Amino acid sequence: MKPGTENMDEINFYSDDDRCAAWHFAARSEAFLDAKGQPCVVMAPGFASTRDTGGLLAYAEGFAAAGLDVLLFDYRGFAASEGSPRQLVSAARQRRDYHAAIAAARRLPGVDSERIVLWGISNSGGHVIRVAAEDGRVAALVSVTPAVDGVAVIAQLARNAGVLHLFRITAHGLRDAVRGLTRRAPHLVPVMGEPGSRAIIAKHGAEQDYLPLTGPSWRNEVCARTALEVGFNRPITFASRVSCPLLVQAGTADTITPPARTRQAAARARRGELLEYPIDHLDAETLPAQQDLLVDQLEFLRRHMAPAASHQAATTNTDWNHR
């Protein structure tokens, strides 16, 4: 059992017709409690990761200790969640899972349905921006080293592993797409690997650096068709439609999600706040950076989600704090 998981309950909710597995961490203080209940932070892993990743659990435990409920779930097709094909990263499907998780969080006992916070990291850090723009009732967002522009991510992949890498993963993606159309088993490729491999994210030391962060349910494989849609996933185009407070945390040394586009996403949001850290992409899930990011996230949530501030925040149209 991972540290901290003794404080959570296993729950399930449905996204379309598939059951999604989730953990509910109950708030361990009354710091955010008001007559309607506590806020709830809805969290999902990045890209092809899983909820038992140590870094995600540390964030969830930190929120619960501070007085926030947490719903941390696995996407369909991953770990204990249902859904097929397995190991498919589909941005549209993952966003629908977020919407279903929000609905489930609003039904949790003791949760204030008007104070739902979305939290995402990497790929899910981009998802929360679009999901909040579509939902309209989300109270706040935390977006950590987010993938906000698939075009910029593709350019970064080419810088990491060379232009030939893009042709290689596109070819594998087309092969898998044909197998999907003919209802055959998916063609799988690694998530992380070295330059020259068929991995989606290919950079020197990628797998070696990521393995210590993974949970027991993580698999280093993904449906290759994922490579075909990366460039079309552009949550930055929805940032201007997000009306709630948004905290964006960028790594100035990020070699997977370029910080320049992350800054632009924060600037486009009506109430965006940008904080930058001298970290690479994976550092957001490891100490000491993880603790630094969590401290800033809690400070942001105390300002916007604390009982005395919640109604004021809901009526404020601008709240810029870029630094």
Range of the domain at 114: 5-150+232-313
Q: With H, G, I as helix, E, B as strand and everything else as coil, classify residue 93.
A: helix
Rounded Cα–Cα distance for residues 165 and 94 (Å): 25
CA angle 127, 23, 212 (to 5 degrees): 75
Encode the chain (323 residues) as per-residue pLDDT tens digits: 344 456 789 999 999 999 999 999 999 999 999 999 999 999 999 999 999 998 999 999 999 999 999 999 999 999 999 999 999 999 999 999 999 999 999 999 999 999 999 999 999 999 999 999 999 999 999 999 999 999 999 999 999 999 999 999 999 999 999 999 999 999 999 999 999 999 999 988 888 888 888 999 999 999 999 999 999 999 999 999 999 999 999 999 999 999 999 999 999 999 999 999 999 999 999 989 999 999 999 999 999 998 865 444 444 433 434 43
Give the pLDDT score at 314.
Answer: 43
Q: Is residue 115 part of a domain?
A: yes
Q: Is residue 174 part of a domain?
A: no
Give the pLDDT score at 8.
Answer: 85
Q: Is residue 168 part of a domain?
A: no
Look up tokens 């586009």; give the residue. 261
Q: Is residue 36 part of a domain?
A: yes
Which own/partner pairs from 303-311 qualify as long-range (CB within 8 Å, at least 24 positions apart)?
303/245, 304/139, 304/140, 304/245, 305/32, 305/39, 305/68, 305/115, 305/117, 305/139, 305/140, 306/31, 306/32, 307/32, 307/33, 307/34, 310/34, 310/114, 310/115, 310/139
Rounded Cα–Cα distance for residues 146 and 122 (Å): 4
pTM of the predicted model, to two decimals? 0.91
Q: Is residue 189 part of a domain?
A: no
Interhelix angle for 163-181 vs 150-161, to 10°? 120
Contact 60, 28 (CB under 8 A): no
Provide the CATH number for the domain around residue 38: 3.40.50.1820
Q: Is residue 191 part of a domain?
A: no
The type of residue at 190 is P
Rg of the chain (C-alpha set) = 19
The type of residue at 262 is T
Q: Is residue 109 part of a domain?
A: yes
Give residue 77's Cα distance to chain centre: 16
| H-state helical runs in the chain | 54-66, 91-106, 123-135, 150-161, 163-181, 206-210, 226-229, 259-268, 289-305, 307-315
Contact 138, 102 (CB under 8 A): yes
Residue 79: C-alpha distances to residues 5, 25, 53, 60, 92 (Å): 16, 19, 11, 18, 19
Q: Is residue 161 part of a domain?
A: no
- The closest alpha carbon to 197, from 179, 230, 233, 221, belongs to 221
Number of domains making up the chain: 1
